[in-house]
Amino acid sequence: MADKKSSKVPSGRASRFAKVAGLAGGLAGGMLAEGARKIRAGERPKTSDLLLTPANARRVADQLANMRGAAMKLGQILSMDTGDLLPAEWTDVLARLRSEADPMPASQLEAQLEAALGDEWPELLYDFKYTPVAAASIGQVHRAIGPQGKPVALKIQYPGIARSIDSDVDNIATVLRVSGVLPDGIELQPLLDEVKVQLHEEANYLLEAEHMQRYSQRLAEDSRFLVPEYYPELSGKSVLCMSFMPGQPIESLIEQDQQERNRVVTALVELMFTELFVWRTVQSDPNFANYLYQSDRGAIVLLDFGATRTFKAAFANNYKSLAKAAIAKDRGRLLNAAMKLGYLSEQANEDITELLLDMFMLAAQPMMYDEAYDFASSDIATGMQEIGWQLQEKVQDNDSGWHSPPVAAMYLHRKIAGTFMLATRMRAKVNVHKAISVHL
């Protein structure tokens, strides 16, 4: 990553709460400024118009990027939705939290390495690069040379992140709820509880190492994929050391011919369905930075297994029923599968129900026909945004019967949407129907 000014990670409960309080003050100040501007222009603004502005969204994103940890991760998760929780302007701004964070200063970085590897860490890691190659919500990644002279990558966790997860999630959710950013009628507690569990798992680098090794074993015979090697002697719960994997950003694939683009994206689509329906274990963060492309070998390097989720058999089977119903264009069966998955309750009104079914049918377009789907000409993103706007209006009704989507599904949809987004960016043509049909 390009050099970026570092900022100290607030690691104490009081300092992190002060950041949250500052966020609330910033939102209020933004509302006053926007209100004054509209009044000068002769307008009579509504409170929601003052709050849900791109400027306020940027204030939230900047503060969360500075806090890092669970606060930033919650912003990422809120950006995953399709418009039913937040306006599109907010999800667009918050989406940058998926790959951007302020790097920590050298003093905190060295303290984390010393805590994990001891005072002798400089002797273990030759030519350690202080400028991170990536900085995300839980930690940042650095290059070095290991004891055996091999290039390694070290994922180093920000200080205090693990112990601040529960309070961060609760505090940020309170600010967003009280400020009116999140609409009334949304039951957030199940979402927040699941987020806390997931973040505690992501903050455990030993668990991530297990996932990485498991993927390496499962893909050992598949030459299309490469997974880093884990170095346990240079790792701990807050430092994860692995082999450094060379490669170009996955976006460089656009420079290849159509056939190669189709082949690589097809491999990622097939992997996604194998993860869900065979392994029931999905690396749920499809951030483009988590993939590299080795053009000389035509191989895809898989990075970052922190967001790996294991799904229950019932969820995978119900999702299989959902996909089969959508492919068959059977809205009755689709509704039944959606209710089993927890998308809808019996209290949901007809408008909400029909909009959600429309959304499922639209998302399933690439799967419906046994032919290559041309992602370059896809209108799915635009259609989903339009449905999201309509859903947001309906959710405001007290009798909508709406509740937040199941968290497991939100993580899975992030994976599917991100994979399809990459396919669109690469202008790929993929027979998605064939890729999923072998599992149905």
Q: Which residues are catalytic?
A: 285
Place of tokens 């949901």: 348
Count CB-CB contacts under 10 A for residue 23.
23
Closest CA to 285 of 158, 162, 412, 385: 412
The SS3 call for residue 429 is strand
Sheet harboring 291-294: ordered strands across? 225-226, 299-302, 291-294, 248-249
Element at 374 (helix H, strand E) = strand 373-374
Helix or strand holding residue 242 (H, E): strand 239-243
Strands (E), 43-138: 134-135
Q: Residues for the chain: how many in total?
A: 440
Q: Between vectors from CA 165 to CA 12 and to CA 405, what angle results, nearest 5°? A: 150
Backbone angles phi, psi at 37, to 5 degrees: -65, -45
Beta bridge partners of 100: none
CA–CA separation, 164 and 12 (whole Å): 8
3-state secondary structure of 202: helix
Helix count (H) and strand count (E) of the chain? 17, 12
What tokens does 97 get?
Answer: 């939290």
Contact in structure between 31 and 56 (CB atoms under 8 Å): yes
For residues 40 and 171, is the Cβ–Cβ distance under 8 A? no
- DSSP, collapsed to helix, strand or coil, labels residue 407 as helix
Token couple for 48: 């929601």
| Residue 313 burial (10 A CB sphere; 0-12, 13-18, 19+) | exposed
The phi, psi pair for 140, rounded to 5°, reads -130, 160
